[in-house]
């Protein structure tokens, strides 16, 4: 495979300004992540210490194999919800290595509101278990939750993807033969009690761990019975009498050691594809900071991005002269072959057909696909409708949904309209989806939406013989611009769990490497497509 | 979780991790590249952070003996489950619970008395079977919960040993 020849002038003024801008965004991201991970009100930390419980981050450190990568997901979930008081949605989720085995960790964070489940906590847990199902990753649950946050129950209890889905997913995992180990380090109350009960193995800490459908206050209210948490659902009750938990432990450390011993006994699946020798990129990934324009309306060559992510910066480009607004081709990433689809402009008829064709090639060749999004949408206008832009976009989406190889999506800059769909947006089940800090995501651009809405209003009034003053037009445009600005940022997206996390661009290669390796725990089926509108 | 090793009188925590096709040793917050190559004569060549040495390694049960630079070292890996099993202090492990409902046939101990592991403390009878309750570790009787002739339910406490001290 030939090396991509970078056309970037790393000594230019433009490069320097981009780099400064993007380094600042990366530093801001790291600071937001640090706060979400570690900054807690002192009284919450004091309470943990009083209860002799470890901080969730220390538990995870102890659980994982030292010196192995941990890909944390959705660190900034709920960063724009609940007045910012529920960092990471009170949950830690991530892919790591325990006893040499790839697993996914789901941990309640009792330093946030006693580990209560908010609506976005439930969304994050369901997503974590969906990832486990799609990639056949064993799950380790670190349980320590006060139960659902009752004032918001209407937003997490009854609907299809609400809390019931957590337990449904647990049963699905077990049915698929994917093991789960629960470590009960605090209370598992109400629905949370089913997490250890539906896990194949469960460990519980004497003194602090407890499992019950109704906690002591609820029992007192319901039947008048007064009982302590330990007598109601403590370690000895469940490991000696009820059989709800399997292994008693004297301390959190011992509980984690027992869980590690269990995971080390689990069968290791055959990986779906072989991994070759990895090679670092020839071009420094840190140069990505200078590649991404500081103004996100400025076009850039996605090959410059590919060159800073893939092994040896080598790329086999498919159809280099056709449909050039979409770059397609093969590369290796941490030794795994991938097919890359990257936007170099708006999607036309030819670039859509190229995408549909290349996706079918990747499936024939059993090659996972990586989508690098910078897409304003499919081309509009009479000329393109006449050539069937909608049916060509439909072909692309049909090929995408029929694909069985693992898909991964990185939103590098813009992600607008149907372009988001055709390029494996969230609804198209990429195994993992990440965003870069400057990315924007919405059904159309803020300016375009404001113009469309004021245009519609003007026509309405014209029919009635009225007109609008510039002030009245501004009054229509401003609120639209404002809501788009607030709800199309990467931080809003990640707050709502539309993605699996915001990435510092230089970490993209490693994140995709962990994601690929994890995805290959699941076998790859043969692709089967629906009807392509020709 | 790091591994704990006993080397002579010292305890060391360390871990091994992969870096590409090679390995690194993690110790004290640092990473050292390591490699072990078998030599034709049965010895091995160990390389740690660029330093190469000849070692002879022999295993016997839980112990590994390493001969390095004219000295012999006995190395033992301490299973974290052993190490952590008694880290919690006072616990239910200090109490013998009745395995089934029954009657006390005989009591051979008094509070304050010292017992050794394996010593019979009392005999109980249940479903026509006599069962000896034996000391599960060395210790001192703190409480005798039942007396001869008394009946009890399943999981009733029978004997409590004074809490063991952490070592």
Q: What is d(CA B105, CA B84) in angstroms, rounded to the nearest whole number? A: 36
Contact between chains at B84 and A254 (C-beta distance less than 8 A): yes
Residue A252's nearest CA partner among A186, A196, A195, A205 is A205
Q: What is the pLDDT of residues A512-528, one digit of tens each?
A: 999 999 999 999 999 99
Contact between chains at A236 and B92 (C-beta distance less than 8 A): yes
Residues of B in Cβ contact (< 8 Å) with A207: 88
Contact between chains at A66 and B92 (C-beta distance less than 8 A): no
Range of lowest pLDDT (A411-425, A447-461, A480-494):
A447-461
How many CB pairs lie under 8 A apart between chains A and B? 59
**Are A143 and A186 within 8 A, CB to CB?**
yes
**Are A93 and B53 within 8 A, CB to CB?**
no
Place of tokens 């033992």: B76
Minimal Cβ distance to B1: which of A206, A250, A256: A256
Q: What is the pLDDT of residue B89?
A: 45
Distance from CA of A489 to the nearest CA of B (A): 36
Residues of A in Cβ contact (< 8 Å) with B87: 250-251, 253-254
Q: What is the pLDDT of residue B88?
A: 46
Q: What is d(CA A500, CA A414) in angstroms, rounded to the nearest whole number? A: 17
Token digits of residue A357: 């064709």
Q: What is the pLDDT of residues A365-379, one digit of tens each?
A: 999 999 999 999 999
ipTM of the complex: 0.76
Contact between chains at A67 and B97 (C-beta distance less than 8 A): no
Residues of A in Cβ contact (< 8 Å) with B1: 62-66, 256-257, 260
Residues of B in Cβ contact (< 8 Å) with A206: 88, 91-92
Q: What is the pLDDT of residue B164?
A: 66
Q: Is A23 left (phi over 0), alpha (psi -120 to 50) or beta?
A: alpha
Residue A70's nearest CA partner among A517, A524, A514 is A514
Q: Look at residue B145 and tell me whether its pLDDT is greater than 80.
A: yes
Contact between chains at A251 and B84 (C-beta distance less than 8 A): yes
Which chain B residue has the Cα nearest residue A253?
B84
Q: What is d(CA A16, CA A305) in angstroms, rounded to the nearest whole number? A: 17
Residues of A in Cβ contact (< 8 Å) with B81: 254, 257-258, 261
Q: Does B76 touch chain A (CB under 8 A)?
A: no
Contact between chains at B17 and A241 (C-beta distance less than 8 A): no
Q: What is the pLDDT of residues B43-100, one digit of tens each?
A: 999 999 999 999 999 998 888 999 998 899 999 998 888 888 755 444 457 888 888 8
Which chain B residue has the Cα nearest residue A249?
B85
Contact between chains at B1 and A62 (C-beta distance less than 8 A): yes
Minimal Cβ distance to A241: which of B31, B91, B155: B155
Q: What is the pLDDT of residues A129-157, one digit of tens each?
A: 999 999 999 999 999 998 999 999 999 99
Q: Does B36 touch chain A (CB under 8 A)?
A: no
Q: What is the pLDDT of residues A315-363, one digit of tens each?
A: 999 999 999 999 999 999 999 999 999 999 999 999 999 999 999 999 9
Q: Look at residue A508 and tell me whether its pLDDT is greater than 50.
A: yes
- For residue A187, what are the β-bridge partners? A210
Distance from CA of A65 to the nearest CA of B (A): 6
Query: pLDDT band for position A161 (50/70/90)?
Result: very high
Q: Look at residue B9 and tell me whether its pLDDT is greater than 70.
A: yes
Which chain B residue has the Cα nearest residue A258?
B81
Q: Does B77 touch chain A (CB under 8 A)?
A: no
Taking the C-alpha atoms of A69, A494, A75 and A180 in order, what is their torsion angle to the nearest 10 degrees?
Answer: -70
Residues of A in Cβ contact (< 8 Å) with B89: 250
Axis-axis angle for helices A470-487, A446-463 (nearest 10): 150
Which chain A residue has the Cα nearest residue B82?
A254
- Best mutation target among B4, B23, B77, B92 (most A Cβ atoms within 10 Å) is B92
Minimal Cβ distance to A250: which of B26, B86, B155: B86
Residues of B in Cβ contact (< 8 Å) with A99: none
Q: What is the pTM of this model?
A: 0.90
Q: What is the pLDDT of residue B167?
A: 38
DSSP code, position A488: S
Residues of A in Cβ contact (< 8 Å) with B99: none
What residues of chain B, 108 to 137, have a C-beta less than 8 Å from chain A?
none
Q: What percent of chain A has pLDDT over 70?
A: 100
Contact between chains at B88 and A62 (C-beta distance less than 8 A): no
- For residue A188, what are the β-bridge partners? A145, A211
Contact between chains at B26 and A67 (C-beta distance less than 8 A): yes
Residues of B in Cβ contact (< 8 Å) with A241: 155
Q: What is the pLDDT of residue A124?
A: 98
Which chain B residue has the Cα nearest residue A98?
B1
Q: What is the pLDDT of residue A148?
A: 92
- What does the pLDDT average to over A165-176? 98
Which chain B residue has the Cα nearest residue A64?
B1
- For residue A106, what are the β-bridge partners? A93, A141
Contact between chains at A250 and B24 (C-beta distance less than 8 A): no
**Are A493 and A416 within 8 A, CB to CB?**
no
Token digits of residue B137: 């570790």
Distance from CA of B155 to the nearest CA of A (A): 9
Distance from CA of B34 to the nearest CA of A (A): 14
- Best mutation target among A140, A254, A279, A517 (most B Cβ atoms within 10 Å) is A254
Residue A496's nearest CA partner among A133, A72, A127, A28 is A127
Give the residue, B81 or A293, on which the prediction is more confident.
Answer: A293
Contact between chains at A67 and B1 (C-beta distance less than 8 A): no
Query: Average pLDDT, whole number, for chain B?
Result: 88
Residues of B in Cβ contact (< 8 Å) with A64: 1
Q: What is the pLDDT of residue B165?
A: 56
Q: Does B91 touch chain A (CB under 8 A)?
A: yes
Distance from CA of A66 to the nearest CA of B (A): 6
Token digits of residue A115: 């580990």
Q: What is the DSSP string of A226-275?
A: ---HHHHHBHHIIIIII-S--EEESSHHHHHHHHHHHHHHSPPPPPSS--
Distance from CA of B121 to the nearest CA of A (A): 22
Contact between chains at B93 and A250 (C-beta distance less than 8 A): yes
Task: Indicate the SS3 state at residue B144.
Answer: strand
Contact between chains at B91 and A250 (C-beta distance less than 8 A): yes
Q: Look at residue B137 and tell me whether its pLDDT is greater than 90.
A: no
- What does the pLDDT average to over A95-110? 97
Q: What is the pLDDT of residue B73?
A: 93
Residues with Cβ within 8 Å of A347's Cβ and at least 6 positions away in sequence, in order, are A325, A326, A355, A375, A377, A378, A379, A393, A396, A419, A422
Q: Does B2 touch chain A (CB under 8 A)?
A: yes
């Amino acid at each position: 495979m030939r090396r991509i020849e970078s056309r970037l002038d790393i000594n230019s003024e433009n490069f320097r300004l981009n780099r400064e801008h993007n380094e600042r965004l990366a530093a801001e991201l790291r600071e937001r992540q640090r706060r979400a991970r570690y900054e807690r009100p002192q009284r919450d930390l004091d309470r943990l210490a009083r209860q002799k419980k470890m901080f969730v981050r220390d538990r995870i450190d102890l659980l994982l194999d030292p010196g192995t990568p941990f890909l944390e997901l959705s660190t900034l979930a709920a960063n724009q919800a609940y007045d910012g008081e529920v960092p990471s949605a009170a949950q830690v989720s991530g892919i790591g290595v325990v006893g040499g085995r790839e697993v996914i960790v789901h941990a309640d964070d009792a330093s946030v509101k006693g580990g209560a489940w908010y609506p976005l906590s439930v969304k994050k847990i369901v997503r974590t278990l969906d990832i486990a199902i799609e990639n056949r990753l064993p799950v380790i649950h670190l349980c320590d939750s006060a139960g659902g946050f009752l004032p918001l129950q209407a937003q997490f209890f009854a609907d299809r993807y609400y809390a019931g889905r957590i337990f449904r997913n647990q049963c699905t995992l077990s049915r698929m033969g994917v093991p789960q180990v629960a470590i009960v380090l605090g209370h598992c109350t109400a629905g949370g009690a089913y997490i250890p009960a539906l896990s194949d193995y469960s460990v519980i800490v004497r003194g602090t761990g407890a499992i019950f459908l109704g906690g002591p206050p609820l029992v007192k209210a319901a039947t008048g019975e007064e009982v302590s948490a330990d007598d109601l659902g403590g370690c000895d009750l469940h490991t000696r009498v009820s059989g709800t938990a399997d292994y008693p432990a004297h301390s959190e450390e011992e509980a984690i050691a027992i869980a590690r011993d269990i995971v080390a006994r689990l069968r290791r699946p055959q990986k779906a594809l072989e991994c070759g020798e990895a090679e670092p990129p020839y071009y420094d990934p840190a140069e990505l900071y200078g590649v991404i324009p500081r103004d996100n309306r400025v076009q850039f060559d996605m090959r410059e991005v590919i060159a800073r992510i893939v092994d040896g910066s080598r790329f086999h480009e498919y159809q280099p002269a056709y449909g050039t607004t979409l770059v397609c081709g093969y590369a290796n990433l941490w030794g795994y072959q991938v097919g890359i689809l990257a936007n170099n402009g708006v999607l036309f008829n030819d670039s859509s057909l190229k995408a549909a064709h290349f996706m079918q090639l990747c499936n024939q060749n059993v090659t996972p696909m990586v989508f690098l999004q910078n897409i304003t949408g499919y081309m509009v206008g009479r000329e393109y409708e006449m050539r069937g832009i909608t049916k060509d976009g439909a072909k692309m989406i049909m090929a995408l949904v029929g694909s069985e190889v693992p898909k991964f999506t990185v939103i590098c800059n813009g992600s607008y309209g149907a372009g988001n769909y055709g390029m494996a947006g969230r609804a198209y089940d990429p195994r993992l989806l990440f965003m870069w800090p400057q990315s924007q995501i919405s059904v159309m651009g803020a300016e375009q939406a404001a113009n469309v809405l004021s245009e519609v209003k003007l026509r309405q009034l014209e029919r009635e013989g009225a007109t609008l003053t510039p002030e009245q037009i501004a009054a229509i445009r401003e609120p639209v611009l404002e809501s788009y600005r607030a709800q199309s940022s990467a931080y809003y997206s990640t707050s709502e769990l539309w993605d699996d996390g915001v990435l510092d661009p230089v970490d993209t290669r490693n994140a995709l490497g962990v994601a690929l390796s994890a995805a290959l725990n699941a076998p790859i089926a043969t692709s089967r497509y629906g009807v392509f509108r020709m | 979780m790091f591994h704990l090793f006993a080397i002579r009188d010292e305890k060391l925590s360390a871990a091994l991790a992969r870096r590409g096709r090679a390995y690194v040793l993690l110790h004290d917050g640092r990473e050292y590249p390591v490699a072990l190559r078998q030599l034709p004569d049965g010895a091995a060549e160990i390389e740690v952070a660029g330093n190469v040495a000849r070692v002879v390694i022999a295993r016997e049960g839980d112990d590994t003996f390493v001969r390095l630079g004219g000295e012999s070292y006995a190395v033992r890996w301490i299973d974290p489950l052993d190490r952590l099993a008694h880290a919690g202090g006072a616990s239910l492990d200090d109490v013998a619970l009745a395995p089934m409902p029954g009657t006390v046939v005989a009591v051979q101990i008094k509070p304050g008395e010292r017992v050794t592991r394996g010593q019979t403390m009392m005999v109980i009878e249940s479903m026509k079977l006599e069962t000896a309750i034996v000391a599960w570790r060395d210790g001192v009787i703190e409480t005798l919960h039942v007396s001869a002739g008394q009946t009890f339910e399943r999981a009733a406490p029978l004997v409590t040993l004074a809490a063991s001290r952490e070592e």
